[in-house]
Structure 1
Amino acid sequence: MGIKYSSKINKIRTFALSLIFVGFIVMYIGIFFRTSPFVMTLFMILGLLFIIASTVVYFWIGTLSTRAVKVVCPSCGKITKMLGKVDLCMFCNEPLTLDPELEGKEFDEKYNRKKRKS
């Protein structure tokens, strides 16, 4: 069984959504410490920080998304956004590339990493 890939924009959005849920869970845990106002406040503030971090991540991916290259997926025909040399279609997970040298090769996210000069 291979690695499950998804588009970079969707990965970052999923991470931001998980930060919101973690923030709510942390705040909910704080309710169990009603007898200790300090601990309850600590959990509430920590949960709020997770939610603020999520807002920052959503803002960041929004700005990245506006600068992303838009391409038409050859498989499903929908317009999708690409970050980097290789990415997946946001709708059908078809591997896409902007680099002619990578056409026909198996999809690997390592193609987006810059090669280090040794």
Structure 2
Amino acid sequence: MAKKYKSKINKIRAFALSLIFIGIIIMYGGIFFLKKPMVMSIFMIIGFLFIIASTVVYFWIGMLSTKAVQVVCPTCGKGTKILGRVDMCMHCNETLTLDPSLEGKEFDENYNRKMNVSEEKR
């Protein structure tokens, strides 16, 4: 079974959105403790912290997105952003790279990791 890849920006945005939903669910869980205000307050504070964490992640990906290289996807013709050496098109999930040594190779997220000195010599 082939692994489904998504662009890095979309992965991080999906993570931030999940933090919002998790925070709301935790806060909603606090309603079940109406007779114990301290426990209810703890649930509300933890849920609020998840929502604040989501805000931080959205801000971070927004700043990261401004530094991303914008390209036009050769498959769908739409503009997309590339983070790292390889990434996927945000619209059609086509493999994109700006590194000529990686053109034609099968997509691997490990191409974006920094290589050790021993790996560079290979």
Identity of aligned residues (%): 74
* Whole-angstrom CA distance in 2 between matches of 1:117 and 1:103: 23
Counterpart CA distance in 1 for 2:27 and 2:106 is 44
Q: Extract structure 1 runs of 4+ deviating beyond 2 A.
A: none
Q: How far off its partner does 1:3 sit? A: 1.1
5 Å-filtered alignment, 1:57-68, equals 57-68=57-68
SS of the residue 1:45 aligns to = helix
Secondary structure (helix, strand or coil) at the match of 2:117 reads coil
Residue 102 of structure 2 aligns with an amino acid whose one-letter code is L
Alignment size in residue pairs: 118
Q: How does 1:1-118 map to 2 (within 5 A)?
A: 1-118=1-118
RMSD: 0.6
TM-score normalised per structure 1: 0.98
SS at 1:84's partner residue? coil
Q: What is the alpha-carbon distance in structure 1 between the residues aligned to residue 96 and residue 44 of structure 2? A: 43
| 1:10-40 deviation line (CA, Å, top 9, x unaligned) | 0000000000000000000000011100000
